[in-house]
């Protein structure tokens, strides 16, 4: 019993260690180590060609416990900043906030637990095959985490492997799930290579193909830049979240952003999510005209984050174009922060988050035409969903994200969110402009590199010249389908192998 507890603690520590592979530390090799420890603890001792006979109830339950322990270590370390938003800005008492954070991390931990339980139940005939089944189960579970109950794909393993990781080259081809498959497969292969001398050549060959292939793909420019450059100015007001929604302090936000815009004019000016915490029609007369006048040049525009209301009285978290009057309305809303899921209305007793009952925007919203570019907006949390950004990027030359992560204080949430945006730029081959309230405001190149950024928690403007990009990456053409189909095929082949093994085992011997 004591040995089992020590093993589970070691696995949880490996999960916690993996978080340091993500921003702000970005020591991406640690993700290999963390996953390798998890795989090694449940590794099956198979000789080539031998059927797997470990699929007992005890085996898959143990595997599920391993996955749960790893997940708890991983998510409690990586997304515990949820506690900050609940206590500092949601008004939730600390004991309840601790409980809610624990329950949230426990829910997220069910997905690695599910992956390992299914892996333990799937028969394999070789150690190399077992590594592929492990990677397929893990990838499908991560994808499911990004889809179920509105989805939360934060800290998917592939996000740790943007530049400078050699695996970053696979992102424009197979997206974050494909990169995540490569991470888990390499981690499991390394364990098998170290444990079995006869497999080392094959392990080195497979690892070399993944690493060198990714490095080679990074040299390919999948999309083509426009010859003309767009002058941009991204404004970061750093308005404290605790003061932002107080009506008597609205003038502070108005003055801050107007002064920043007047000092840093450009063709395209971006203000962050809900930069102006008011309906546009309720703003002082002439304010929006004065803000619009700061954009310079033909077809110039100011895009600002605000709240809009339709004729039915519904409110939307929106990005508003001052030149055209058109707006983009956020479609993928944050549960509890922007809408209350069914059966959870009782949580409003404890949560005191302003403007937490938004309606969803339309599925199809065209990009804006600004100074020769087609600009597709997305708001905050939306850019963690690769398939949704892909759908908008296909009709755009430039991506613009308006965010406000001040809800999470000075935590890892901000650099983690920036890392996610880098993956979206890589996948789509489009520059990503990020205007945030408190950080990290940044210009991201189509190769996933950060071309410029502002320090967090300081007011200022990030100015730059950006070239819109035409053309398509492979991921932009085919999306996640190849990766998910490949993982599904691996699982189906494992199931078929299991049925064949059981049939052979039940067949009568000659002479019986």
Please list the active-site residues.
273, 330, 380
CA distance 376 to 399: 5
Please give the Cα distance from 58 to 121 (Å, whole number): 10
Give CA separation, 207 vs 186, 210, 216, 443, in Å. Answer: 6, 5, 14, 33
Q: What CA–CA distance (Å, rounded) separates 443 from 422?
A: 10
Structural contact between residues 232 and 269, judged by C-beta atoms closer than 8 angstroms: yes
CA gap 497, 174 in Å, rounded: 27
Write a three-state SS string for 78-91: HCCCHHHHHHHHCC
CB 277 within 8 A of CB 307: yes
Question: HSE (CB half, 13 Å, CA atoms) of 246?
Answer: 9
Picking from 111, 81, 149, the residue whose alpha carbon sits closest to that of residue 339 is: 149
Region for residue 337 given its phi and psi (left: phi exceeds 0; alpha: psi -120 to 50; beta: otherwise):
alpha
CB contact set of 109 (below 8 Å; sequence gap of 6+): 67, 68, 70, 71, 72, 74, 75
| Angle CA 478–480–486, to nearest 5 | 105
User: Looking at the DSSP assignment, which residues form a beta bridge with residue 375?
Assistant: 368, 398
- Taking CA atoms, 66 is separated from 14, 35, 50, 179, 212, in Å, by 11, 11, 25, 23, 32
């Amino acid at each position: 019993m004591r040995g089992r507890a020590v093993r589970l603690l070691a696995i949880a520590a490996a999960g916690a260690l993996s978080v340091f592979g993500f921003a702000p530390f970005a020591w991406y090799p640690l993700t290999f180590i963390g996953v390798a420890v998890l795989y090694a603890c449940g590794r099956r001792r198979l000789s080539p060609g031998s059927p797997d006979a470990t699929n007992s109830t005890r085996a898959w339950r143990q595997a599920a416990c391993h996955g749960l322990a790893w997940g708890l270590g991983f998510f409690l370390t990586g997304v515990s900043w949820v506690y900050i938003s609940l206590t500092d800005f949601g008004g939730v008492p600390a004991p309840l906030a601790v409980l809610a954070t624990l329950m949230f991390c426990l829910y997220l931990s069910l997905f690695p637990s599910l992956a390992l339980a299914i892996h333990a139940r799937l028969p394999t005939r070789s150690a190399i095959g077992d590594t592929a089944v492990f990677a397929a189960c893990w990838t499908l579970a991560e994808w499911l985490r990004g889809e179920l109950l509105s989805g939360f794909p934060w800290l998917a393993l592939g996000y740790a492997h943007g530049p400078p990781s050699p695996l970053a080259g696979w992102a424009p081809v197979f997206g974050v799930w494909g990169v995540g498959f490569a991470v888990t497969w390499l981690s499991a292969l390394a364990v098998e290579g170290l444990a079995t001398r006869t497999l080392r050549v094959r392990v080195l060959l497979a690892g070399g193909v993944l690493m060198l292939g990714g490095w080679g793909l990074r040299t390919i420019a999948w999309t083509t830049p426009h010859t003309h450059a767009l002058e941009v100015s991204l404004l970061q007001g750093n308005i404290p979240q605790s003061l932002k929604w107080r009506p008597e302090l609205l003038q502070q936000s108005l003055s801050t952003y107007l002064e920043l815009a007047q000092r840093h004019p450009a063709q395209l000016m971006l203000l962050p999510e809900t930069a102006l915490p008011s309906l546009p029609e309720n703003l002082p007369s002439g304010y929006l005209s004065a803000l619009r006048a700061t954009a310079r040049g033909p077809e110039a525009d100011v895009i600002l984050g605000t709240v809009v209301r339709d004729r039915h009285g519904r409110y939307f978290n929106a990005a508003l174009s001052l030149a055209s009057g058109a707006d983009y309305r956020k479609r993928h809303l944050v549960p509890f922060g922007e809408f209350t899921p069914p059966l959870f209305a009782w949580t409003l007793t404890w949560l005191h988050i302003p403007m937490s009952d938004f309606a969803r925007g339309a599925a199809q919203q065209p990009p804006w035409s600004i100074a020769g570019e087609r600009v597709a907006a997305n708001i905050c949390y939306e850019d963690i969903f690769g398939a949704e950004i892909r759908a908008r990027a296909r009709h755009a030359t430039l991506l613009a994200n308006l965010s406000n992560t001040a809800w999470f204080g000075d935590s890892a949430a901000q650099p983690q969110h920036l890392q996610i945006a880098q993956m979206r730029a890589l996948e789509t081959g489009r520059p990503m402009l990020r205007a945030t309230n408190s950080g990290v405001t940044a210009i991201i190149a189509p190769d996933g590199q950060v071309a410029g950024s502002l320090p967090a928690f300081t007011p200022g403007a990030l100015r730059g010249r950006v070239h819109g990009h035409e053309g398509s990456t492979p991921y932009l053409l085919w999306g996640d389908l190849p990766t998910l189909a490949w993982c599904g095929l691996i699982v189906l082949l494992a199931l078929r192998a299991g049925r064949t093994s059981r049939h052979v085992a039940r067949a009568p011997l000659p002479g019986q």
